[in-house]
Structure formats: C-alpha cells, structure tokens
Amino acid sequence: EAQVTQNPRYLITVTGKKLTVTCSQNMNHEYMSWYRQDPGLGLRQIYYSMNVEVTDKGDVPEGYKVSRKEKRNFPLILESPSPNQTSLYFCASRGDPLTDTQYFGPGTRLTVL
Amino acid sequence: GDSVTQMEGPVTLSEEAFLTINCTYTATGYPSLFWYVQYPGEGLQLLLKATKADDKGSNKGFEATYRKETTSFHLEKGSVQVSDSAVYFCALKGPLAETSGSRLTFGEGTQLTVNP
C-alpha cells in the first residue's frame, strides 16, 4: 500500500529537549515536505526537499532542521523546542510534478510545555 | 504573494442538504487549484483539482469550477452525508511553484459537520 508514515503520532515534551519526528514514504517520490497546521492559519510549509541531499526553507523554517540522506526518509528535527512549536505536523510527498498530487502522512501532534 | 481565503466555519448541515464552501484566491499568473479533505485523525487527502480556467474538478459527488474572472473555486455537493463530516481545505499551487518548492498555499480550512 502506497503511504506516508510519521512517528510518533503524539508527543508531549518540555522546552529545550531535542526531538526528531520521522517521515517515510514507500512511493519512491523525489519531492517531500513538512507542514505545520495551526487553527485559523491552515497549513504552512516548513521545509521541503526536491531530492536526496537537496533541501530548502519553506515559509516558516525558524526553529526547525531537516535532512534527506535517503530518498524515502525526511526527518524533522527540533533542536531546542519551544512552546510556540506546539502544533500538528504533516509530512507530504509527491512523485511526478505533472500530477500535482501530494500525499500526506497521518500527522504528529506535538505539545511543548 | 499567493493567498487563499475560505469561508469561515464551522458549517453544520442536515443530511441531504446542499453544501457550498466558498474559496477565493490571489495569485500571480494561472495557478492550479485544489480541494483537500481531512477526516478526523487522518492526514489530508486530495479531493479534486483543476489546472486551468473553466475546468471543473469532481469526485465523490463534490464539484468545483475554476473561475478566473472571479478568482474563485467554490466547493459544492448536492446532497451531503454524515460521512462527509471533515475539514475541507482549499489550496493553490502557483505557476512558479516548481522553483519554490512546489509549495501548496492553503486556506484556513472549513469544518463541516453533517447531522443525521
């Protein structure tokens, strides 16, 4: 089954404690991205990757890092989480640019105390 | 920059009622337009899309027409069901998006609840 998986699905942590949210896709997609979803703001892109070792900032990259060492994985790293990073996070991937269709993971709900 | 504005929610309807969720956009050039749906506890799924003016996207009884003259892409369904209860997001992908991360610009989302 074609899918995008994220782990963990839920996480409660404290300010300053480094964490990583993993994202993996099994569709051999080149393009992957991270979004955060906040009430009244819709989804905003954090980082994206056009291919292995190619990453770039989206609209709200501050406080986040990413890496793309393998095509299937695109982890999101919060080196020093703060309460304003409490949000719902989605990973997405896309194959052929002509299809315009992005596939989203189930989401990770992060709470930073 | 690009932006999408959706009608404010939440929207509550009775089963078999007619649904309209308004969406208007601001973009340079000719964007592609999308409706995504998010069911409770799940990620977003593409519902329908349109890539040029006057195109009509349709899926699962939902329809939306790309209206360039009014910069709109309103979502409609003639008879909603309880299973349609979800959050609906209007989104666009600008024509230059390939040089800026293929970014989707989303609206705020509209919560739809359908009661039996």
- According to the model, what pLDDT value does residue B97 have? 56
- According to the model, what pLDDT value does residue A42 have? 86
- According to the model, what pLDDT value does residue B103 have? 76
Q: Which residues of B touch A (CB under 8 A)?
A: 4, 32, 34, 36, 41-46, 49, 51, 89, 93, 98, 101-104, 106-109
Q: Which position has the higher pLDDT, A97 or A95?
A: A95
Q: Which regions in chain B score pLDDT beneath 50?
A: none
Cα B20 from Cα B38, distance rounded (Å): 17
B41: nearest CA partner in chain A: A106
Q: How far does the CA of residue B98 sit from the closest CA of chain A (Å)?
A: 8
CB B88 within 8 A of CB B114: no
- According to the model, what pLDDT value does residue B102 have? 66
Cα A23 from Cα B36, distance rounded (Å): 20
Q: What is chain A's mean pLDDT, rounded?
A: 93
The 10s digit of each residue's pLDDT in B14-42 is: 999 999 999 999 988 888 999 999 998 88
CB B24 within 8 A of CB B92: no
Q: How far does the CA of residue A12 sit from the closest CA of chain B (Å)?
A: 17
- According to the model, what pLDDT value does residue B99 have? 55
